[in-house]
Amino acid sequence: MHRRKTGALLKASVLMGAACGPVGPAVWEALGVYGDALGLAFQVVDDILDVTQASETLGKTAGKDLDNNKPTYVSVLGLERARAHALELRAQAQAALQRSGLADTSALSLLADKVVERDN
C-alpha cells in the first residue's frame, strides 16, 4: 500500500526526469530503485511525524493514523525501528545513485537527505 501512494508519485517524478534525457537501461534501473527507496522513505518519515509532531507543525491532524487504527510503520515496527528503516531506505537510495553512473547526482542525493531529515 505504501509504495502505491506518495511513493509512486515520487518515483514517477524521478523517472519522468530520466525520460527527458538519453539514459540507458542501467541508469533507468538505478533511478527506479532510487525512486522506490525515496518514496518509501517519505512514507516512513510521514508515519513517524504523525506520532512525533504537533498538528500545527504538520499542517494536518497529528495522531490521525493511530486514531483510525491504521497500520503504519510506527505501529508495526515501533518508533526507533521505523527511524532506522528510514535511514536504511536513504542508504539504499544513495547506493542506487552511486550505481547509476550519472555525472552529477548531488541534487537527488540532497533530496534523499531532506526527505529523511525533514522532522529536524
Packed helices 106-116 and 25-52: angle between N→C axes, nearest 10 degrees: 20
35, pLDDT greater than 90: yes
| pLDDT tens per residue across span 40-96 | 999 999 999 988 876 666 666 666 666 677 888 998 999 999 999 999 999 999 999
The CATH code of the domain at 2-116 is 1.10.600.10
> The whole model's pTM is what?
0.86
> How far apart, in whole angstroms, are the C-alpha atoms of residue 38 and residue 52?
21
Q: Which residues have C-beta within 8 Å of that of residue 111, sequence separation ≥ 6?
A: 38
Furthest C-alpha separation in the chain? 47
CA 18 vs. chain centroid, Å, equals 18
